Amino acid sequence: MNFGPVIDGLPVLLQGLAVTLVLTVSTLLFGLLIAVPLAVARWSGPKWLSSLIWCFTFCVRGTPLLVQLFLVYYGSGQFRDELEAIGLWWFFREPWNCALLTFTLSTAAYTTEVLRGALMAVSNSQLEAGFAYGFTGLQKLRFIVLPQAFAYALPTYSNDIIFHLQATSFASLITIEDLAGVASVMANKTYLHYEFYLTAAAMYLVVVYSVLFALKRIEKSLRRFLYPG
Amino acid sequence: MLDGYGPMLFKGLTATLGVAVGAYCIALVLGVLGATAKLEGGRVTKGVAEAYTFVIRGVPELILLLLVFFAIPTLIQSIVRSISPEFVNFRLELEPFTSAVVALGFIYGASATEVFRGAIQAIPLGQLEAARAYGMYGRVLVVQVALPQLLRFALSGLSNLWLIVLKATALASVIQVVELMRVANLAAGATNKPFTFFLAAACIYLAISAVSLVCIKFIEVYSFRGTEQGAK
């Protein structure tokens, strides 16, 4: 074992870690923004809309993320002329945008189904109470249903967050220098495969368990909100 | 439409299924061992099982796969070389298919451990006590009372795991296993039609997932027959 070059490479590895975190947080946020309306539509929208959204989530959840990523990044090259004609080529040319798009859609699909399950778990009498207080549909959603659904969904969503954080390592396969990408570049450069991969693994481990710890704290405080007394 | 790459994609599909089934079987075996170790093991076996699931949960599959594929041969190589000067030219290279199966099986064995542990804990104690009261013991008790219930409790977790392992096999392309994803990649490079081939691969994965879901539904209906849930 020769960890000298790893210590020299630590600043670059940390930069890679920052890229991983930015990619994770931004795609999770965008994904959540898309998932909330989709889940509500799937929960209480018309049948055709619900089926349409189910098709989307089924396609995303039934195929490997790696295939989706390559389909967007390499696949868009096949339509370069068409994309240039409608002025979208600049977007698909950049690996960063492709990763952002693919990961956002992926986490949106998973989150939609998680949230839908949670929305169905909110009891009907809550809605009736809202109706009795004269709440409009949107008010019921905003003040009664969604807060409870988020609390119900959190344990499953925590797992999805961890899964998603780890899945961002696929970005390294389309030349993005996230933590996994930096580690593999350095490993190939120095031939110190296990030193660099072990270091990257340790860094992922620390991040994953810090995030899990924080999520557990939030879950605990939400449990007090869901089951008072 | 596929420029004559249809047969190759089919070959890739069989390799994908091979990796998936192989890895899934290894994961199941490790899962049973891990769950037993966690629940019944002594201090050491329990600690090993806990450390195993702890580490696997915290590290991305991609890194674990690369660690197994690149790092473990290098590690063994350097250990062997350091033993004696005779072995200076010792070289070890893992065959990609085998290492993909072993690595993925090892990774998802951690999830299987948690599934089995939950299922074992879900068996009502009264069932086992009743079986003992009827004079059942050892193998009879396990096979006739514990196992059917355990499998029922584990079913949804195990079906999920199958779908996850199936999708994870795409990662094997990273270590040059010629499965569906790798074939699509090669065909995309040769014909300059990446969208066509990755879309074809995606459709095939989707089809396997859909068929799996239908089979899972049948197994669920079968295994929940005669229970309260099955009546719904």
pLDDT recorded at residue A124: 87
Q: Token pair of A228, please?
A: 């008072």
pLDDT recorded at residue B232: 63
Angle formed by the axes of helices B96-122 and B43-58, nearest 10°: 120
- Residues with Cβ within 8 Å of A16's Cβ and at least 6 positions away in sequence, in order, are A177, A178, A179, A180, A181, A182, A183, A200
pLDDT recorded at residue A123: 86
Whether residue A169 and residue B71 make contact (CB cut-off 8 A), yes or no, is no
Give the start-to-end residue ranges of the domains of chain B. Answer: 6-231
- pLDDT tens digits along A133-155: 999 989 999 999 999 999 999 99
User: Mean pLDDT score of chain B, rounded to an integer?
Assistant: 90
ipTM for the predicted complex: 0.91
Residue of B27, B21, B35 lying closest to B153 (CA atoms): B35
- Which structural domains are found in chain A, ordered by start? 4-226 (1.10.3720.10)
**A205 shares contact with chain B (CB less than 8 Å):** yes
- pLDDT tens digits along B109-150: 999 999 999 999 999 989 889 999 999 888 888 888 888 889
- pLDDT tens digits along A181-204: 999 999 889 888 888 999 999 999
Checking if the pLDDT of A229 tops 80, the result is no
Q: Which of B61, B71, B196 sits opposite A193 (nearest CB)?
A: B71
CA distance B71 to B69: 6
* Among the ranges given (B23-32, B52-61, B138-147), the one the predictor scored with the smallest mean pLDDT: B138-147
Helices (H), chain B: 6-40, 43-58, 61-66, 72-83, 96-122, 125-133, 138-141, 147-168, 180-191, 194-223, 228-231
Whether residue A67 and residue B62 make contact (CB cut-off 8 A), yes or no, is no
- pLDDT tens digits along A150-181: 999 999 999 999 999 999 999 999 999 999 99
* Among the ranges given (A221-225, B154-158, B203-207, B209-213), the one the predictor scored with the smallest mean pLDDT: A221-225
CA distance B57 to A208: 8
* Residue whose tokens read 């899945």: A167
Instruction: Band the pLDDT of B85: cuts 50, 70, 90.
Output: confident
Residue A64's H or E segment, with its range, is none
The CATH code of domain B6-231 reads 1.10.3720.10
CB atoms within 10 A of CB B84: 9
What pTM, to 2 d.p., does this model score?
0.90
Chain B residues with CB under 8 Å of A199 CB are: none
Instruction: Check residue A216 and report its DSSP letter.
Output: H
| Closest chain A residue to B60, measured at CA | A166
Span A93-119, average pLDDT:
96
**A13 shares contact with chain B (CB less than 8 Å):** no
CA distance B230 to B222: 8
pLDDT recorded at residue A35: 97
Which A residues 164-203 touch B at CB under 8 Å? 166-167, 169-170, 172-173, 180, 183-184, 187, 193-194, 197-198, 200-201
